Amino acid sequence: MTAARILSELDSLGTEQNRKVYAKHGAPENCYGVSFANLEKLRKRIGKNHAVAQQLWFTGNFDACNLATMVAEPAAMTASDLNAWMRVNHNATCDLFARNVVAKSAFAIEMLEEWATSADEQVAAAAFATLSVVAMENRTLPDEYFAAWLDRIESSIHSAQNRVRHSMNNAVIAIGGRSAGLQKSALAAAGRIGKVEVDHGDTACKTPDAAAYIRKTAARAATKKKAAGR
Could you report the per-residue pLDDT of 139-160, keeping only the tens digit for each?
Answer: 999 999 999 999 999 999 999 9
Mean per-residue pLDDT for 107-128?
A: 96
Mean per-residue pLDDT for 49-60?
A: 97
* The amino acid at 52: V
Averaged pLDDT of the chain: 95
* The amino acid at 102: V
Asked if pLDDT for residue 228 goes beyond 90, the answer is no
C-alpha torsion sign, points 7, 202, 162, 120: positive
Asked if pLDDT for residue 121 goes beyond 80, the answer is yes
Mean per-residue pLDDT for 79-84?
A: 97
Query: Of 208, 206, 214, 164, which Cα lies nearest the Cα of 189?
Result: 214
* The amino acid at 162: N
Tens digits of residue pLDDT in 160-202:
999 999 999 999 999 999 999 999 999 999 999 999 999 999 9
Asked if pLDDT for residue 229 goes beyond 80, the answer is no
What is the distance between the alpha carbons of residues 56 and 9, in angstroms, rounded to a whole number?
12
The residues near 52 (Cβ < 8 Å, ≥ 6 apart) are 1, 2, 3, 6, 46, 68, 71
Asked if pLDDT for residue 129 goes beyond 70, the answer is yes
Q: What is the pLDDT of residue 68?
A: 97
Mean per-residue pLDDT for 82-110?
A: 93
Q: What is the pLDDT of residue 19?
A: 97
CB 69 within 8 A of CB 96: yes
Q: Where are the domains of the chain?
A: 1-72, 94-230
Ranges 42-56, 60-74, 87-101, 139-153: which has the least confidence: 87-101
Q: What is the pLDDT of residue 230?
A: 60
Strand, coil or helix: what is 32?
coil
C-alpha torsion sign, points 120, 122, 124, 126: negative
Mean per-residue pLDDT for 66-75?
A: 97
Q: 224 versus 13: which is more confidently predicted?
A: 13
Asked if pLDDT for residue 3 goes beyond 90, the answer is yes
Q: What is the pLDDT of residue 90?
A: 80
| DSSP annotation of 106 | T
CB 98 within 8 A of CB 129: yes
Query: Of 206, 212, 178, which Cα lies nearest the Cα of 194?
Result: 212
What is the distance between the alpha carbons of residues 178 and 227, in angstroms, rounded to a whole number?
21
| DSSP annotation of 99 | I
**Longest CA pairwise span in the chain (Å):** 53
Taking the model in full, what pTM does it have? 0.93
